[in-house]
Amino acid sequence: MKKNLMTILLTGAFLMSGMFANQYAAAKDQALKSKEITYTVGTQNFKGYIAWKDDGIANKPGILVVHEWWGFNDYIRMRTDMLADLGYVAMAVDMYGDGKVYEDAAGAQQASGQIFANPNLIKERMTKAYQVLTSEPTADKNHIGALGYCFGGTVALNAAAMGIPLVVVASFHGGLAGFKASEQMKNTKVLIGNGAADSFVTQADIANFKSEMEKYGITYEFKNYEGATHAFTNKYSTEAGKKFNMPIAYNENADKASWKDMISFFNQYFPAK
């Protein structure tokens, strides 16, 4: 990946999410169950948050949900709950270890930069998360997908390119710089939700992404949301943009439209039972 993905994209991500994380906690449907887990990759401990609906339906499709650069916070748990409410077994994935949530931009940038500088970490940690999710008794191990936001969208997309057998990948305002597809992801269906006004994703990045998809005959949809900037799904990105003088903002229309588009995409290629 290009260096600007590690610097520009990460600096522009959800800078206020750590400060407001607890505000994402909300009352849940009584049928919605969840649990916190711990697993290891090598000698390091990682956290996981798994959610599912207790509706008597077994073998639900599973989906890995990857956090933005700030870490394993309540925002990603909220999105995981939302996916579980749709009928999936969803697992929020900890990419940093120990459930780390960074309170400063420098720490978050360093942690994210280490992931991008060593792509093997993406494969190793996403492979382990895949194994953890497929070991869940309610998960259909033959139907696993991945979804991510910003940093997480980039991770999910590249995990498929690295050969993790994902049925679908959905990336919301994720980085595309320098992306390389592979024959291994030929059967993965890809949805990109991009802000049309996102200055962190260039037209060259988009053209390269589409070229890579077409090179391998990969089925994909690329959605551009008019007027949406980077981080358009996060309610607190507007305040972050003002505070840090960055071109990022929440866009309610794009947030709702992208979720609706994801549901439509999943219903076609990755339906919940």
User: Average pLDDT for residues 47-53, to the nearest whole number?
Assistant: 97
| Residue whose structure tokens are 């169950």 | 33
153, HSE (Cβ side, Cα atoms, 13 Å): 23
- Residue 180 φ/ψ region, left for φ over 0, alpha for ψ in the -120 to 50 degree band, beta for the rest: beta
76, HSE (Cβ side, Cα atoms, 13 Å): 36
Q: For residue range 249-264, what is the model confidence (pLDDT) as tens digits?
A: 999 999 999 999 999 9
CB burial class (10 A; 0-12, 13-18, 19+) of residue 32? middle
Q: For residue range 156-215, what is the model confidence (pLDDT) as tens digits?
A: 999 999 999 999 999 999 999 999 999 999 999 999 999 999 999 999 999 999 999 999
All domains in the chain, ordered by first residue: 3-269 (3.40.50.1820)
Q: Which residues pair with 172 in a beta bridge?
A: 149, 193
Structure-block tokens of residue 129: 């998360």
Q: Is residue 78 scored above 70 in pLDDT?
A: yes
Q: Is residue 12 scored above 50 in pLDDT?
A: no
Q: Is residue 17 scored above 60 in pLDDT?
A: no
User: Average pLDDT for residues 83-87, to the nearest whole number?
Assistant: 97
pLDDT exceeding 70 applies to what percent of the chain?
89
Measure the CA–CA gap between 251 and 227, rounded to whole angstroms. Answer: 8
Structure-block tokens of residue 106: 């420098």
